[in-house]
Structure 1
Amino acid sequence: MGFPGTWMTESESVVYRVVPKCACSTIGQIMFYSDHGTFYDGDVHDATEGMHKWAMEESQPIIEANVHEHKSYAFTAVRNPYTRVLSSFFDKICGIQRNGKRYRGNLVPLLIQKYGIEVGAPEDDFAFDQIRSFRRFLLFARDTIRFRRPMDPDIHWTSMSGHISTFIHNGGSYDHIFHIENFNEGMQVVLDNIKTRKKVNLEKIPRFNESEGHGPKRAHPVEAYFDDLSMHLVREIYKRDFDLFKYDYENPGNKMPTAEIDLDEVHKKLGP
C-alpha cells in the first residue's frame, strides 16, 4: 500500500503525512518555502514539482526508502473533530471549488435529493438554513463511513486516525504530531528539529486557506451546529480522534486540546 498522502521536501529534510482539513495547505507551502525560498505559485496540492509526493509515481521509491529507514523527521498535524467536520461541510459541500464547479460533480445533487440538504448559491449569497443542512450532512457522513453508502467515505471527513494510521501500518513512525489550534508552537518544533535550505520565520508566514471565499461564511458559533443527536453522531464517527488527539467531546464550543498527544499511545493504538 505504501505511503498515501505523504509529502516530502526535495532536500529530504522532512516528511509530512497530510491530513485533510488540518492546515495542510499552509504546511505544504512552508515545506516548499524551506527548500526554495519562495512559495508555490498556486495551491500547493496542485504542485507536481519542487517537492516529493506519494501521488507522483517517480517520488514513491524515494519516499519509501526514506520512511522505511526513518532518514528524516516525520510529522503530521490534527484538528478538533467538531471544527474539522464543519469545515468539510462548508468547503466541500457548500463551496464552489477551485475549478469553478461543485465538489465531485454529482455529490451535491445526491445530497439534496437523498438527505434534503440545502447549500445555497453565490447568486443568493448562500442563503440557507446552515444548522439544519449541516446536521443532515452529518447523517450522510456517518452513512458513508459506517455503511459505505450512498458512496465510499471522502478523505475530507474520514477520521484523522484513519489517515495517520496508514503511515504507521506501512512501516513509518512519527517524531511529532501537533494540534493546529497551536499552529506556530507545533510547527516550530518541526523546524527546530530539521535543517532547511532556507530560513523560515513562522511569524511572517501567511495562512494558506485555499477554500476561503468560495462558499458561505459560518453564520453561528461552532456549538450551535451540534445538538445531542449531532454530538452522538460525531462521537460515533470520531471517538478515536477525540481520545487519541486529546479533544473535548463534551463541549463543541471548546476547540482547544485538553492535553498533549502521547506519541507512544498513537503508535501503539494505530499500529499493526
Structure 2
Amino acid sequence: MGFPGVWMTESESMVYRVVPKCACSSIGQIMFYSDHGRFFDGDIHDSTSGLHKWSQDESQAPITENVKSHKSYAYSCVRNPYTRILSSFFDKIAGIQRNGRRYRGNLVPQLTQKYGIQVGSPEDNFDFDQIQSFRRFLLFARDTIRFKRPMDPDIHWSAMSGHVATFIVNGGRYDNIFWTEKFNEGMQSVLDNIETPHPIDLNNIPRFNESEGHGPKRLHPVEDYFDDLSMHLVYEIYKKDFQLFKYDFENPSNKMPIGEIDLDEVHAKLGD
C-alpha cells in the first residue's frame, strides 16, 4: 500500500499527508517555497519535480524510508465536514475544471440522469437550484461511500479519517494535525518545529485556491443546504471525522472546531 497522498520536501524538512479540499494547494506551495525560495508556477498538484510526491515513482523510496523511521516532522490538515462536502460539490460537480471540461468527463450527465442533479452552465450563469441539487449530490456521495455504487468514492468527498488513516496503518506517525479554519496558526505550529532552507512568513503567503472562479458562487449560508435528512446523511458518512477532529455536528453554521484534536486518540482509532 505504501503512503498514497504523501508529499515531502526534497530537503526532507517535513512530511505532509494530503487531505483533498483542506488547503492542500496552499500547503504544497508553502512546502515548495520553503525549499526553493519561489512558488511553483501553476497548480502545485501538477508539479512533477521540486517536491517529493508518492505518485512520482522516484519519490516512493525516499518517502518510505523517511516515514518508516519518522525522520521528519509529519502533519496533515483537516476541515469541517459540512463545508468540505459543500466545497466538493461546487468545485467538482457544479464547477468547470482547470482544463475547461467537467470533472471526470461523463460524471455530471450520469448524476443528472440517475439523481436528477442540475448544475447549470457558464452559458446560463450557472442558474440552478443549488440547495436541491446539493442535497441530491449528498445522496450520491453517500451511495459511493457506503455501497461503492454507482462508482467508487472520489477522494474529494471520501472521509478525511480514511485519508489520514492510510499514513498510520502503513507505519507513519503524525506530529500534528491542524484545522483549515485556523490555517495560519496551525501552519505556524508546523514551521516552529522545523528548519527550512528558505524562511516562511505566513503573513505574506498568498492563498492558493485553485478551484476558485471556475464555477457558481455559493448563494446561501452553509446551514441552508442541510435539512434534517441531509444532516443525517452527513453524519452517516463523516461520523469519525466529526468525532476525531472535534467538529460540531449539531450546528452546520458553526464551522469552527469545538475541542482539541487528541493525536493519541487519532492514532489509536485509525491505526487498526
TM, length-normalised to structure 1: 1.00
The 3-state SS of whatever aligns with 1:76 is strand
Question: Counterparts of 1:47 and 1:268 in 2: how far apart (Å)?
Answer: 34
Shift of 1:263: 0.3
1:45-60 alignment runs, 5 A limit: 45-60=45-60
Shift of 1:151: 0.5
Question: Counterparts of 2:126 and 2:106 in 1: how far apart (Å)?
Answer: 19
Amino acid at match of 1:209: N
Provide the residue aligned with 2:172 in structure 1: 172
Amino acid at match of 2:53: K
Q: Tell me the number of residue pairs that the alignment of Structure 1 and Structure 2 aligns.
A: 272
Shift of 1:34: 0.4
Provide the residue aligned with 1:194 in structure 2: 194
Question: Counterparts of 2:211 and 2:122 in 1: how far apart (Å)?
Answer: 14
Shift of 1:260: 1.0
The 3-state SS of whatever aligns with 2:215 is coil
Provide the residue aligned with 1:43 in structure 2: 43
Question: Counterparts of 1:93 and 1:180 in 2: how far apart (Å)?
Answer: 22
Provide the residue aligned with 2:250 in structure 1: 250
Unaligned 5+ runs, structure 2: none
Shift of 1:210: 0.2
Question: Counterparts of 1:244 and 1:211 in 2: how far apart (Å)?
Answer: 27
Provide the residue aligned with 1:11 in structure 2: 11
Provide the residue aligned with 2:143 in structure 1: 143
Map Cα deviations across residues 154-200 of structure 1 (whole Å, 9 max, x no partner): 00000000000000000000000001100000000000001100010
Query: RMSD in angstroms over aligned alpha carbons?
Result: 0.3
Question: Counterparts of 1:110 and 1:17 in 2: how far apart (Å)?
Answer: 31
Amino acid at match of 1:23: A
Provide the residue aligned with 1:31 in structure 2: 31
Percent identity between matched residues is 77
Question: Counterparts of 2:213 and 2:82 in 1: how far apart (Å)?
Answer: 21
Provide the residue aligned with 1:262 in structure 2: 262
1:110-149 alignment runs, 5 A limit: 110-149=110-149
Amino acid at match of 1:55: S
The 3-state SS of whatever aligns with 1:248 is coil
Shift of 1:60: 0.1
Amino acid at match of 2:139: L
Amino acid at match of 1:205: I
Provide the residue aligned with 2:231 in structure 1: 231
Moved over 2 A (4+): none
TM, length-normalised to structure 2: 1.00
Amino acid at match of 2:214: H
The 3-state SS of whatever aligns with 2:74 is strand
Amino acid at match of 2:226: F
